[in-house]
Structure 1
Amino acid sequence: MELTEGGPSSETLVYYRSHVRWVLDRDKTEHPLGAYQLRHVRPVIIQAALDSSGVSADMRKRIRSVLIRALRT
């Protein structure tokens, strides 16, 4: 994303990184995405990581949108 012309600003990327790190961290969720190889990450796995993260519904929605955008590129 950083190398994409017209991509997100550096501030936006910092915001994205902080959200994604949350669901990758074994200390913050029961089902961290960091435990999976990228090719095995499916929507149900992402949802399990978000549901076990203990964050608000609004934050889960933001993290999900960040992950969708990151996985599309």
Structure 2
Amino acid sequence: MSETFSKAEVITGVARRASVTAEQKLLVVNETLQTGMSISYVARRHGLSPSLVFRWRRLMSEEALKAFKRN
């Protein structure tokens, strides 16, 4: 029988949210808008949750619609 090893990660302490500036959010969202780009791929490449990037896209889209409606 062969021996197998597995990797275990021990988490100590409290995890903190990373601070992401509005400029960084915009760069990530713009990257997802490029042809052929997957939102999940872009999110993971930046170490973010895909659901968070989906939320940023939705919020930015809603704000853009509000701006158009004001004019």
- Say which structure is richer in helix: 1
Same-fold status (TM-score > 0.5): no
TM-score (norm 1): 0.30
Instruction: Give TM-score, length-normalised by structure 2.
Output: 0.31
Instruction: Please tell me whether Structure 1 or Structure 2 has the larger radius of gyration of its CA atoms.
Output: 2
